[in-house]
Amino acid sequence: MVMTTADEFLSQKERFQLGDLPTECPHPKTSGLCDWAKRDVAFGLDVLREVDLDALRRVLGFRQSLYGFFHAVASALERGDRIFLVGCGATGRLSLSLEYLWRRKFPASLQVASLMAGGDVALVHSLEGFEDFPEYGARHLRQLGFGANDLLIASTEGGETPYVIGAVEAAAEMSRASPQFLYCNPRQILLDRVERSRRILTDPRIRSYCLDTGPMALTGSTRMQASTVLMLVIGLALEFGRDVEGAFTALERWIEYLAAQDVAPLAPFVVSEAGAYLENRHTIYSSDDYAITVFTDTTERAPTFNLAPFDNPEHPTGRHSLTYLTIPGAATASESWRHLLARDPRPLEWPAIHPKTTKDYLLSFDFSRRALDFRCRILGPPQVFHIGTAGGQLWLSFRGVEQHFGLPGSPLLDHLTLKLLLNMHSTLLMGRLGRFEGNLMTWVYPSNGKLVDRAARYTQMLLHQRGQDDFTYDEIVRAQFLCKAELSPQDSIVHKTIEKLTGGLAS
């Protein structure tokens, strides 16, 4: 299932060499991001906020092109048809988050359902290689009972994710409703460069919408601006239906609100949480109202920065996650999952393909109030980061630091506001820990074809900066696969690959 050797990857490398896509390119405003994280956190926060605002202002320019999308969503809801949301990684998590918001608003409604590569357990950690297989997306959609009247909304930051494309092509065969395909790179680049994207974009049965965000604040980290824009647009369509003007008025007001928001009060939290890890302490986030958004940010740190994924009480390993989540309002593992998703979990149950797709494995993760005792038992008393609401405001508290932030007042925009704040916080936090260089994700974990290519490209960029241009792409990939076999949480795959290629001269 997974590409385990360099030869396997290199035999199909053209499918994954996507460095010329804007979402994969370094952002010109954030070249000093790592230095700001260490020396001027407040300035780094301001720059990240400005990059977010740039991406959101670009959405305003898509108003006319999105009328068809809003009307397709409204028509499905008016007919009582079901809407399925599909994504991979960050877009999978935003799909689950949108279903959560729908179910919190309409507890009795089954009209909105979500699926992500690997099933619900992938909310905790990715299942290696799943997103590279279009047939898995199609199979997952059928398993959930997708039918002739159902509408599929697919989101993929790059516009090329095989799993999502497989689900879209299956939906085009199965339903009378045209699948809706949202992506964040210019249409022409995808038409010219990526055959699987070209199939989708030229298929008359499929409606596609470009939400070109430009580069990410941290190179290739589409958990940031791209996933924000996709969640925003899909969420607004679910909330406003045919009222496109109302949706964009709400967006304009939110942009004004964010532009006036002071993000400097986040700086002490960045410094304090980084300090906890530098002291070899561990943390746990505690949240009821915002568990899904807190969960998303904390779990997405692992693949982005080669951190250990969340510990599993029933499957201990020698690696421990820096942080965890506890939901005080949940008493058991099952309750914690229902609180997190606003529904019972939907594992894939494909043990022949991957043993971690089962319900038993999923429920072995416990995010209830008992998680605090679990963390204490294996690592000693954790530092608790509280996130909730107080007096209609967002409330953050950690190690004696407490701050309140205003909220827009709509569930969708409230969760997105917290998402932006947590993305800024966790990115600069990891910069203080040295988990990226400049604005390159040098610690990214190469768990699928796209990430293998990212790590190879970042290796190539740093070698070029050091005047070492003698290594070919293929040589870099072969060295990377050798390094991955011995990679630890204390290693950067990029720096380790450079050391192997240059005989130890990584800096």
Report the alpha-carbon distance of residue 61 to residue 273 in Å, rounded: 38
Give which of 368, 293, 308 is closest to 336, Cα–Cα.
368
Whether 499 is a known active-site residue: answer no
Enumerate the β-bridge partners of residue 208.
181
Q: Identify whether the C-beta of residue 185 lies closer than 8 Å to the C-beta of residue 210.
A: yes
Give which of 113, 121, 87 is closest to 351, Cα–Cα.
121
Give which of 415, 410, 407, 413 is closest to 390, Cα–Cα.
407
Residue 377 DSSP class:
H
Q: Identify whether the C-beta of residue 117 lies closer than 8 Å to the C-beta of residue 137.
A: yes
Q: Which of 131, 160, 239, 273 is catalytic?
A: 131
Q: Identify whether the C-beta of residue 75 lies closer than 8 Å to the C-beta of residue 150.
A: no
Q: How many other CB atoms sit within 10 Å of the CB of residue 458?
A: 29
Q: How many other CB atoms sit within 10 Å of the CB of residue 97?
A: 25
Strands, E, within 117-218: which ranges? 151-156, 180-183, 207-210
Give which of 93, 147, 94 is closest to 118, Cα–Cα.
93
Q: Identify whether the C-beta of residue 428 lies closer than 8 Å to the C-beta of residue 37.
A: yes
Alpha helix positions (H), 5-127: 6-10, 33-39, 41-60, 67-79, 90-105
**What are the φ/ψ torsions at residue 465 (nearest 5 degrees)?**
-60, -25
Q: Identify whether the C-beta of residue 269 lies closer than 8 Å to the C-beta of residue 399.
A: no
Which residues, in sequence order, are CB contacts of 457 under 8 Å at separation 6+? 19, 24
Q: Identify whether the C-beta of residue 118 lies closer than 8 Å to the C-beta of residue 194.
A: no
Give which of 459, 477, 493 is closest to 13, Cα–Cα.
477
Whether 131 is a known active-site residue: answer yes
257 token code pair: 């609100």
268 token code pair: 């002490």
**What are the φ/ψ torsions at residue 440 (nearest 5 degrees)?**
-105, 135
Report the alpha-carbon distance of residue 507 to residue 505 in Å, rounded: 6
Alpha carbons within 13 angstroms on the beta-carbon side of residue 249 total 5
Give which of 199, 265, 255, 267 is closest to 229, Cα–Cα.
255
Residue 23 DSSP class:
G
Q: Which of 24, 99, 157, 437 is catalytic?
A: 99
- Give catalytic residues, as residue numbers: 99, 131
